[in-house]
Structure formats: structure tokens, C-alpha cells
Amino acid sequence: MKTIILAGGYGTRLQPITAERPKSLLPVAGKPIIEYILSATESLAGAPPFISTNKRFLSAFRKWQRNSPFSVKIITEPTMSESEKLGTVGSLNFLVRKKRIRDDLLVIAGDNIFEFDLKDFVNSFQDKFLIAIYDIKDKEKIKRKYGNVEIDEKGRIIDFIEKPSSPKTTLVSTACYIFPKRVLDTIPEFLSQTEKGKDAMGYFCSWLLKEKKIPIQSFVFKDAWFDIGSRVSYLAANRYYLKGESYSGKKSEIINSKVTDSIIFDEVVLQNCEITSCVIDDYCRISNLKLKECLIGKGTIIKGIPGIR
């Protein structure tokens, strides 16, 4: 079995924080998201994981790779922007064809952090398409956001709806899959029939289930899981791993300021500020301000009026 981490997206909902860095390399409690995933794969036998990214972020991954303790193989997709991207299913197809893969595949989205034992997940694979499933406990949180699944008493998935407006259950797909090798040949057929569906694995799963009648099994877990796609989910992951504390990067200075539930990157200076639920990128200089629920891009300088916030 080979392992693929899909990290070819452009993180549009987290821009400008992701303007120059891939989402997978964003720090959570000071450690890049992708290193949580790679740590989980260390219990597995086999070749080093593939990381699929794009030309725009290749240099960022190469820089990270030079200092990383993990052995990986980086595969580059020929895209430079959101409008060109291959999408989740398209990226997987590109890598499978490029490397001529004919093995079962463990496929993980590069913005997922999970705490279930990946070895247990792999050991539960019985030559059927397998998806890690999480009970989010609230149908409202699923609406137009997650892949919603329905399972029977034996854990077989009987329905899969991507981003539904009216979820049937509180179960969601967590973008951690095992593809039996026989399923790989169906990917080009699926891509030839859709444009919208290439960017969400859930559409492919639904197509396999309904059109190809290929059985899909669930692996339901209760451990912590974070799908980091927005400021809110990014802060939630950081809050969990730092037990409620904010994160402050290297050489950052927080002077006469209050910082709550926020992520402050490297070499930031905050003076006379009140910062709540914000993400502030490298080299920012902010003074005399009260900020709430903001994403502040790299190198931003904001000066408020002393004594007025």
C-alpha cells in the first residue's frame, strides 16, 4: 500500500495567510499541519509518502523538506493558480498516472489533523473502498460544508452526499481514504463526466456508490479531528493543541497588548493592542488597535491613534 498526501490546493478561504505558503505548512501549535499527518504515518510499513502539490508552492515545500525529519517524495502538479488547479480527484489521478501506481492507496488530505490510530485504519481495510468517518453531532454544522454519509448496521456506506443543504445524519467524511487498486481505473471515467466533481472526493465516492455499485465501508472514530479550511477551524485546532492558549512565533514582540485565541506568526510586533480570534502573518507591525476575527497578511503595518482603539 502506498500513501499519498494531497496538498495541491490554494487555501483561498485563508488568504492572505496562504498567499505565499501552502495550507499544509501552516503551523498548529508551532508545528506544520503536514507533520501531524506524517507523524501518524510513521507506524505504517512501506515506501515514503508522496506529497502532491503545485508549481506555485513547490519552493515552500522544498524549503520545508530540507529541514524536515520526514522522508517524503514530492510530486508537482502543473498549476500556478486557483483557476488552473486540478482539484482533489484530478490531483490524485495526475499522481497515479505519473507514477504508474497499481497498488492500494492510503489517501489523506493535507489539511486534515486527526488523532485516530492510522494503523488501526489500515488494518481494518478488507479490499473494499474505506473512508474514515467522524460523528460531528450536529446536522447544522454539516450544511453545505462536509461530505455527509449514511451507514447501515454493518458499517457499509449506503448514501454519500457532498455538502448537502439537508444532511441525513451527523456523520461526515474526514478526507482519509483507502482506495483498492481496482478502483483507480475508474477515476479517469469519472473525470470525463464531470467538471464540478473533480474538486471534492465526496462526489467521486457518491458516483462509485450509485453509478458503479462499488461497495464502500466506513471506519468510524471518536478521536479529535480538524478539517482546517477556514480561520475558525484553524484557530480551533491551535486552541486544542495549546490547551486554549494563543500561539506566538519566533522573535515576535507583544508589548502592552492582550492576545486571546489567536495565532501570531514570526517577527510580529504588537503594541497597545487587543487581539481576539485573529491570525497575523509574519513581519506585521500593529499598534493602538482592537482587532477581532481578522486575517492579517504578511508585512502589514497598521497604526491606530494612541489612546483610541
Looking at the structure, do residues 262 and 222 belong to the same domain, yes or no? no
53 and 106, same domain (yes or no):
yes
Give the ranges where 195-259 is alpha helix by DSSP (H).
201-210, 231-241
pLDDT at 46: 84
Angstrom distance (rounded) from CA 189 to CA 192: 5
Residue 241 lies in a domain: no
Residues 157 and 22 in one domain: yes
Q: How many domains in the chain?
A: 2
Peptide bond into 16 cis (omega under 30): yes
Could you read off the pLDDT of 14-40 as tens digits, one per residue?
999 999 999 999 999 999 999 999 999
Q: List beta partners, residue 254.
A: 270
On whether both 251 and 143 belong to a single domain, the answer is: no
Same structural domain, 199 and 299: no
Which of 101, 83, 32, 85 has the alpha carbon at shortest distance from 60? 32
Say if strands 290-292 and 274-276 run parallel, antiparallel, or are unpaired: parallel
Could you count the other beta carbons within 10 Å of the beta carbon of residue 207?
A: 19
The CA distances from residue 300 to 32, 90, 131, 285, 308, in Å, are: 23, 35, 41, 6, 20
Look at residue 197 and give its three-state secondary structure: helix
> 308: pLDDT confidence band, cut at 50, 70 and 90?
low
Question: Residue 147's closest CA among 227, 52, 72, 93?
Answer: 227
CA–CA distance, 6 with 272 (Å, rounded to integer): 41
Cell of 183: 478502483
In a domain, 235, yes or no: no
C-alpha cell read off for 244? 486554549
Structural domain boundaries, residue 272:
246-303
Strand partners, 148: 161, 172
Residue 197, pLDDT score: 72
Q: What is the pLDDT of residues 78-131, one digit of tens each?
A: 999 998 999 999 999 999 999 999 999 999 999 999 999 999 999 999 999 999
- Summarised one tens digit per residue, pLDDT across range 117-157 is 999 999 999 999 999 999 999 999 999 899 999 999 999 99
- Are residue 146 and residue 259 in the same domain, yes or no? no
Q: What percentage of the chain reaches a pLDDT higher than 90?
A: 94
pLDDT tens digits, one per residue of 181-223: 999 999 999 999 887 778 889 999 999 999 999 999 999 999 9
Whether 80 and 115 share a structural domain: yes
C-alpha distances in angstroms, 94 versus 51, 52, 54, 268, 270?
12, 9, 11, 39, 44
- CATH number reported for the structural domain that contains residue 162 in this entry: 3.90.550.10
Q: What is the mean pLDDT of the chain?
A: 95
